[in-house]
Amino acid sequence: MIGAEFFSVPEPARRVILVRALRSFGDGFMSLVVPVYLSSLGLDATAVGAGATATLLGSSALTFLAGASAHRLGRRPLLLAASLAMTATGIGFAGFENFWPLLLVAILGTFNPSAADMSVFLPLEQSLLGDAADPKRRTDTFALFSLMAALALALGSLAAGALDWFGPAYGTAAVSRGFFVFYAALGAAAFLIYRRLPESRPGPGATATAALGPSRQRVYRLAALFSLDSFGGGLVLRSLLALWLFERFGLSVAATGAVFFWAGLLQAASFPLSAWLARRIGLVNTMVFTHLPASLLLIAIPFMPNAGLVVGLLIARSLFTTMDVPARHSYVMAVVSAPERPAAASFAAVARSLASAISPVLAGAMFAASPFGWPLVLAGVIKTGYDLLLLRGFRHVKPPEEQD
């Protein structure tokens, strides 16, 4: 079923989806291995949160530069450069042990500490998919894009259990470096796949001075709302959530990886449902009414008295937490003109990355001060506010395929 759907999309879209899966597999194990590696170097949750903040700030800067120049340079060269940066990130993590060099690698590299994809790749890939997909199948294509990524992310989380299996024999640092080298190899594979991507030239109406045109105000409003959601998401990044599970409940890396694996499978299952719902109730309604239950569950998690209930709610939440993603990507691509797509995707991604970059250092300090899990409560409240504001502001702004 997935294979048939994959081969039914245009060839450039297949390359984008395949590379997204490779990157997500790397993100799956890196988000668990990096906090363990940093802890083995004697760093606490505050330092891990500061590292995540620096990572997302660096990602924001790179994403902004890519979006601002994509209409002039083309997306293929930028994707090739991002693939090389991914390789350099893995090599850098493998080569350094001191905090400040590692922090520099995190700022300049492609490491993603979040379950959401917040990297320089994403806006370029989104705009490519937006151009390649038939408007009537655009949300389905983005659902497949997210589905493959979620499956790969789940498998990557499970693979991180090798740190528990081989760490006692070879040492946590040595096994972590093996993961980092493998991450570098995934970047090299992405480069080879994107080398054969046909170059897409700027569309009619694209200019060197105005990447965003008539849709500017709409994109700004959406980006402001997305940044609110991402600020909440930054409080519960996978790396910080994993560290909380390690320290509050004593879960091992393998057990935490298994939790994220099953959560990832449910996330993957939610994406086809997202496309199905979008055809029936609209993109904005799908974004809001699937995301709201996840926000409420997040508030409830810290109040659970034991690890079993916490894990149960985390897994239940995973069915809803990213169901809005295909609808969101499709919506942004639908409500702007084709020449504006790279810049619109980049602007939205930068707003999300900047907002999510502010909160991890706050969350790290809160986790270090109290084991209760206050960042989860705060994140749920903020995300609930985002859901209600999005519904109020955009329920009447419909993409072309939903207009009568």
Task: Read off the pLDDT of residues 326-381 as tens digits, 9 standing for 90 and up.
Answer: 999 899 988 888 778 877 887 887 788 788 777 888 888 888 888 888 999 999 99
Looking at the domain assignment, is residue 3 inside a domain? no
- Whether 4 is covered by a domain: the verdict is no
Mean pLDDT of all residues in the chain?
Answer: 85
Q: Give domain status of residue 359, yes or no.
A: yes
Domain that holds residue 40: 10-198+215-398
Q: What is the pLDDT of residue 122?
A: 82
How high is the pLDDT of residue 199? 66
Q: Is residue 380 part of a domain?
A: yes
pLDDT at site 83:
95
Query: Residue 256: inside a domain, yes or no?
Result: yes
pLDDT at position 105 over 50: yes
Specify if 381 maps to a domain: yes
Q: pLDDT tens digit string along 249-308? A: 888 888 888 888 898 888 888 888 998 999 899 999 999 999 999 999 999 999 998 989
Size of the chain in residues: 404
> Which is more confident, 371 or 189?
189
Phi-psi region of 283 (alpha: psi -120 to 50; beta: other; left: phi over 0): alpha
Say how many domains are in the chain.
Answer: 1
Q: Residue 190 maps to which CATH number?
A: 1.20.1250.20
Span 184-207, average pLDDT:
76
pLDDT band at 114 (very low <50, low <70, confident <90, very high): low
Whether 270 is covered by a domain: the verdict is yes
Residue 395: phi, psi to the nearest 5? Answer: -65, -20
- Within a domain: residue 161? yes
